Homo-oligomer: A and B are copies of this chain.
């Protein structure tokens, strides 16, 4: 069985697909799905329409790939937060990550997972649904993590993991909206601190 990975026949791609995807992610992050035109995207990516279609399919699949990259890049704070040993640290790290990612210098303000997912015309409905599912996934991960904390005695047995997860997600979403409105990192960190002040004691 030949498993040698041979190079594909033909002229190799002349651009770095990862870097192009990174640039596309930034455009979607700032302008949302519908607000980002193909002209915006391809000129930021430094490639032609044809190359974009050959490499990524179409605008919608490009968006989905950009969202994946966002999850593993700027939004990786979420996965890291979930690994903290204590539920309180999970919540604290999640909100702190949300604050720093939505206010990172050199990146668009706000959260790609929230931008442009609220209102949409017909053409953006699929992207809107994808982002709603994305946020639901994040909330489910938090819920499972908090359930685990209850099982371990890390949270009081009366604590409601579903509610706690929704609460944290709500504050994080609000932080993203505030960031687009120009709120500074320190202002939002104060809000995050305030939101955690009523965290259930062990």
A interface vs B, CB < 8 Å?
A: 30-37, 40, 110, 114-121, 124, 132, 135-136, 163, 166-167, 169-178, 180-183, 187-188, 190-191, 194-195, 197-198
* Residue among A163, A171, A190, A198 with the highest chain B CB neighbour number at 10 A: A171
Residue of B nearest to A198 (CB): B198
Contact B178 A177 (CB under 8 A): no
Given A35-B121, A194-B163, CB of A132 within 8 Å of CB of B182: yes
* Residue among A116, A166, A177, A187 with the highest chain B CB neighbour number at 10 A: A177
Interface SS of A by simple majority: helix
Contact A31 B190 (CB under 8 A): no
13 A-B pairs with C-beta separation under 8 A: A32-B118, A32-B120, A33-B119, A35-B121, A36-B121, A135-B177, A163-B191, A167-B195, A170-B188, A171-B171, A173-B173, A174-B177, A177-B177
> How far is the CB of A61 from the nearest CB of chain B, in Å?
19
Contact A118 B121 (CB under 8 A): no
Query: Contact check: which of B30, B117, B169, B175 meets A180 at CB < 8 Å?
Result: B117
Query: Contact check: which of B33, B35, B175 meets A124 at CB < 8 Å?
Result: B35
Query: Contact check: which of B35, B121, B175 meets A31 at CB < 8 Å?
Result: B121
Query: Contact check: which of B37, B120, B132, B174 meets A174 at CB < 8 Å?
Result: B174
Which residues does chain B contribute within 8 Å of A190, judged by CB atoms? Answer: 163, 166
4 A-B pairs with least C-beta separation: A32-B119, A174-B174, A198-B198, A170-B174
| Alpha-carbon distance A119/B87, docked complex (angstroms) | 33
> How far is the CB of A56 from the nearest CB of chain B, in Å?
20
| Alpha-carbon distance A186/B170, docked complex (angstroms) | 14
* Residue among A30, A31, A118, A120 with the highest chain B CB neighbour number at 10 A: A118
